[in-house]
Amino acid sequence: MYPEKNLHEAYARQLDEQDDLKRFRDEFYLQTGKIYLDGNSLGLLSKRAEKSLMELLETWKTFGIDGWTKGDHPWFYISERLGELCAPLIGANPEEVIITGSTTSNLHQLAATFYQPKGRKTKMLADELNFPTDIYALKSQLEIHGYDTSHLVRVKSGDGQTLQEEDVIAAMSEDVALIVLPSVLYRSGQILDMKRLTEEAHARDILIGFDLCHSIGAIPHALSEWGVDFAFWCTYKYLNGGPGAVGGLYVNQKHFGKKPGLAGWFGSNKEKQFDLEHDFQAADTAGAYQVGTPHILSAAPLLGSLEMFHEAGIEKIRAKSLRLTEYMMMLIDAELSEYDFKVANPSEAAKRGGHIYLEHAEAARICKALKENGVIPDFRSPTGIRLAPVALYNTFSDVWQTIQTLKAIMQEKRYEKFTNTRDVVA
């Protein structure tokens, strides 16, 4: 049982008053009359991100082609600058990080580089719960190397929601050459023990990398300390870079000097890039893994957004995120126990990412009802509801109001007016 006072709105307001990060809420464009809980799919626009985008447009307007080397943020170095800003969020050295490409193109680059089948070591190891784009890319890379997709081993889930590290380790057989796993599972929000899995992979002479899409900006990492070989991510979720914002990748410095699997002119040593020679001389940093020209206007919002992460600190962001999700789970348990919801995310703080994952047979229509009643969730087929209270712009009052709204929807069966099918974009 919970103290009665903890279930009332006044308690949520009290928590908001004590919030060290509350000032950042005013930095974002909030939707009037709505509670936005879909920041784990697309973060909200901040005023700083808007400002940095407009500044880069002004640079283009003012300098034309000279914007590559002039202005406050010369375009020629913008990928490296953004890499420096991202590095503290993943526990990396600045030269190990570059902002470039997209989640999938970066995975293709890293797999093309680090998947080097030899002798018995011809297989890749992933998991059956991973986001489909990663699996598509890995299968594609296998086929390019002349192997059929049976060479992609996928670790099974015992409950359909989470993975056991012991099962992953057991699958690290002698024929595995490369492992690619999510840091946080996109449905259930489970955090994998990246340090342990990296140690176990390296003990078996296997390279390992992680998809950080659902962890960067939400939880701290120590990739360099853990010895992770590589990682990749998007920037439009918790990092609030905007729809289609430029992705990022990390390569441990022990691999510097390794020839990128996919070479392109922006991976060149910067001093040689405009010599336009036909012999590729790669940069001696993660910058070598760039392929094409930076997408300047799609990277620009990150200059403003990442400033806030520097000011707030990822440790404080994580601490508030845990409090928000813990509070939401408490309210779900207290207020929704009779409505057949199942909390399918891990309850332990060390294993819980930045969102709550509810399962319900009527999930699609419940999500539609939530939207009609001013709460923006995320539906995951077939029965999943993701609710992500984001530390920089959501409040404990948002959480309280969301659960009250959901309770009313269930009590009054407001969801019954909708079909139980997903929209085109879930």
Across the strands, what pairs with 183? none
Q: Is 220 annotated as a binding residue?
A: no
CA distance 145 to 147: 6
Ranges of each domain in the chain? 4-30+313-417, 50-311
Q: Is 75 annotated as a binding residue?
A: no
Using one digit for the tens of pLDDT, what is the confidence trace for 74-127?
Answer: 999 999 999 999 999 999 999 999 999 999 999 999 999 999 999 999 999 999
CB atoms < 10 A from the CB of 65, how many? 9
**pLDDT at residue 156 tops 90:** yes
**pLDDT at residue 426 tops 70:** no
Q: Is 108 annotated as a binding residue?
A: no
Report the CATH fold assignment for 4-30+313-417.
Aspartate Aminotransferase, domain 1 (3.90.1150)
Do the domains 50-311 and 4-30+313-417 match in fold?
A: no
Which position has the token pair 């970066």? 106
> Which CATH architecture group holds 50-311?
3-Layer(aba) Sandwich (3.40)
| CA 72 vs CA 211, 250, 371: distances in Å | 32, 25, 41
Q: Is 133 annotated as a binding residue?
A: yes
**pLDDT at residue 153 tops 80:** yes
Q: Are strands 384-387 and 356-359 parallel, antiparallel or unpaired?
A: antiparallel
Tokens of 35: 């509670």
Q: Is 104 annotated as a binding residue?
A: yes
Q: Is 159 annotated as a binding residue?
A: no
380-386 long-range Cβ contacts below 8 angstroms, 24+ apart: 380/186, 380/187, 380/426, 381/422, 381/426, 383/359, 384/187, 384/344, 384/357, 384/358, 384/359, 385/357, 385/358, 385/359, 385/360, 386/38, 386/40, 386/41, 386/187, 386/189, 386/355, 386/356, 386/357, 386/358
pLDDT of 197:
99
Burial-class residue 119 by CB neighbours within 10 Å (0-12, 13-18, 19+): exposed
**pLDDT at residue 328 tops 90:** yes
Q: Is 167 annotated as a binding residue?
A: no
Q: Is 134 annotated as a binding residue?
A: yes
Q: Is 229 annotated as a binding residue?
A: no
pLDDT band at residue 276, thresholds of 50, 70 and 90? confident
pTM of the model: 0.97
Give the pLDDT mean for 48-66: 98
pLDDT of 3:
84
Handedness of CA 160, 381, 363, 323 (dihedral sign): positive
Q: Is 400 annotated as a binding residue?
A: no
Q: Is 379 annotated as a binding residue?
A: no
Burial-class residue 273 by CB neighbours within 10 Å (0-12, 13-18, 19+): middle
pLDDT of 86:
98
Q: Are strands 356-359 and 248-251 parallel, antiparallel or unpaired?
A: unpaired
